[in-house]
């Protein structure tokens, strides 16, 4: 399973998400240029909107043309966007466009690279493969914001964006060097069918909740932490990533051994609890507790839901099935960023976190009923 293409794909994933997670700090730049919560949420949500638009049509193309052209397109787009942020000094319409392009790059890269891993892994170890592969992206959740915060404090935003450009160019180089197998011939040329969507509904439900929780946490943690007087948020990302990585190895194997549902349901409950705890955030130790809860839940839920999506995909149509899964997650991300941004602007952060946490709890109950 751990072949050279697997290792190179993981390295490309590490570099791509290192570039992407630097922009976790972008809300601070928008705020410094005069943006408020609603504007921050809308700009950041362009990421999810673009990713959703790309997911809607790329599945059949991915199954037909293979993985590598799309991987190269995504890495090239990330490089262009990073270069544009280096040159940006005022808040304007181009922030919406750049974030939109960044989301499109994520959508293309995530689906094509993860589908490649599904092609390379044997079915009996698929959840394990997704979990181990995902570690390459998860470590960047800890490293990119923490290192980015140090670069920001020492040299400012221009240097931060310049470093992200170098990382994006390195991603492009690794992608060029990666050899990928040809895609399987598709047996579902006329679409996936109504029967597929019926059995796929629980997968989409869990993916939506995953995207909703992640967007609320990662988009609004920097400005909220500053508002409540927490001096550094880097430790949050470190603990989050460490827990997500630690359970990835165990979580993938548990989902292969005991079943996907037994892992997914408690993880969705954990995501809801993590968002609810933000409503009482007042100190660094509580921030680290939230990171532990959310990181653990993330580490369990993503490999299990991804493997479930692959399990239910028709032969030769993994690209389309994973596109549908990612579309649900990205829809949750867009709803979370836009909706929570305006909610927080009108009622405040703490009541907003209570509302969002309760909605996620209801979603977990719906998943339990649909299982």
Domain count, the chain: 1
185 — pLDDT class (breaks 50, 70, 90): low
Q: Is the pLDDT of residue 111 over 80?
A: no
Instruction: State how far the Cα of 59 lies from the Cα of 322, in Å rounded to an integer.
Output: 8
Between 125-134, 223-232, 314-323, the lowest mean confidence (pLDDT) is in 314-323
Instruction: State how far the Cα of 223 lies from the Cα of 329, in Å rounded to an integer.
Output: 23
Q: Determine, yes or no, domain membership for 186.
A: no
Query: Is-contact 178 8, C-beta < 8 A?
Result: yes
Q: Is the pLDDT of residue 187 over 80?
A: no
**Looking at per-residue confidence, does 140 or 53 come out higher?**
140
pLDDT digits (tens, 9 = 90+) for 56-73: 666 566 666 667 788 898
106 — pLDDT class (breaks 50, 70, 90): confident
Q: Determine, yes or no, domain membership for 351.
A: yes
Region 233-247 average pLDDT: 84
Q: Is the pLDDT of residue 303 over 80?
A: no
Region 262-279 average pLDDT: 88
Query: Is-contact 13 133, C-beta < 8 A?
Result: yes
Query: Is-contact 271 299, C-beta < 8 A?
Result: no
- Residue 280 DSSP code: G
And the tokens for 131? 């979990």
Report the length, in residues, of the chain.
371
Q: What pLDDT, on the 0 to 100 scale, is given for residue 288?
A: 93
Instruction: State how far the Cα of 334 lies from the Cα of 357, in Å rounded to an integer.
Output: 16
Nearest residue to 303 via CA among 138, 184, 71, 109? 138
Q: Determine, yes or no, domain membership for 188.
A: no
Instruction: State how far the Cα of 174 lies from the Cα of 51, in Å rounded to an integer.
Output: 23
Is-above-0.75 flag for pTM? no
Region 203-210 average pLDDT: 85
Q: Determine, yes or no, domain membership for 121.
A: yes
Q: Determine, yes or no, domain membership for 184.
A: no
Query: Is-contact 328 209, C-beta < 8 A?
Result: no
Q: Residue 30 belongs to what domain range?
A: 4-179+194-370
Q: Mean pLDDT for the chain? A: 81
Handedness of CA 43, 48, 51, 53 (dihedral sign): negative
**Looking at per-residue confidence, does 368 or 295 come out higher?**
295
Contacts of 1 (CB under 8 A, 6+ apart): 120, 121, 122, 125, 129
- Residue 315 DSSP code: T
Instruction: State how far the Cα of 324 lies from the Cα of 199, in Å rounded to an integer.
Output: 13
Burial of 266-300, coded b for 16+ CB within 10 Å and e otherwise, reads ebbbbbbbbbbbbbebeeeeebeebbbbbbbbbbb
CATH of the domain at 294: 1.20.1250.20
Q: Determine, yes or no, domain membership for 187.
A: no
Q: Is the pLDDT of residue 189 over 60?
A: no
Q: Is the pLDDT of residue 110 over 90?
A: no
């Amino acid at each position: 399973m751990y072949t050279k293409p697997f290792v190179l794909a993981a390295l490309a994933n590490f570099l791509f998400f290192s570039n992407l997670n630097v922009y976790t700090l972008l809300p601070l730049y928008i705020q410094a240029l005069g943006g408020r919560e609603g504007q921050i949420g809308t700009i950041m949500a362009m990421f999810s909107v673009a990713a959703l638009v790309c997911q809607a049509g790329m599945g059949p193309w991915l199954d037909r043309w293979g993985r590598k052209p799309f991987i190269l397109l995504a890495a090239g787009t990330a490089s262009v966007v990073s270069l544009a942020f280096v040159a940006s000094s005022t808040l304007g319409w181009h922030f919406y466009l750049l974030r939109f392009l960044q989301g499109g790059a994520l959508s293309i890269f995530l689906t094509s690279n993860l589908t490649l891993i599904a092609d390379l892994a044997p079915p009996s170890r698929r959840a394990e493969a997704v979990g181990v592969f995902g570690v390459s992206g998860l470590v960047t959740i800890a490293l990119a914001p923490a290192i980015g915060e140090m670069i920001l404090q020492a040299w400012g935003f221009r240097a931060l964006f310049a470093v992200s450009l170098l990382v994006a160019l390195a991603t492009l180089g690794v992608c060029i060097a990666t050899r990928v197998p040809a895609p399987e011939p598709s047996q579902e040329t006329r679409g996936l069918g109504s029967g597929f969507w019926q059995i796929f509904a629980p997968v989409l439900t869990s993916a939506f909740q995953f995207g909703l929780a992640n967007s609320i946490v990662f988009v609004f943690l920097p400005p909220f932490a500053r508002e409540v007087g927490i001096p550094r948020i880097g430790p949050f990302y470190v603990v989050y990533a460490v827990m997500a990585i630690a359970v990835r190895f165990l979580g993938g194997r548990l989902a292969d051994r005991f079943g996907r549902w037994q892992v997914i349901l408690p993880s969705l409950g954990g995501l809801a609890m993590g968002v609810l705890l933000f409503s009482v955030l007042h100190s660094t130790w509580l921030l680290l507790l939230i990171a532990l809860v959310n990181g653990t839940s993330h580490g369990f839920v993503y490999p299990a839901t991804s493997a479930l999506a692959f399990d239910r995909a028709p032969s030769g149509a993994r690209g389309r099935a994973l596109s549908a899964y990612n579309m649900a997650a990205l829809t949750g991300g867009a709803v979370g960023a836009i909706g929570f941004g305006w909610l927080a602007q009108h009622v405040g952060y703490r009541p907003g976190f209570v509302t969002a946490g309760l909605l996620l709890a209801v979603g977990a109950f719906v998943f339990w009923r649909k299982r």
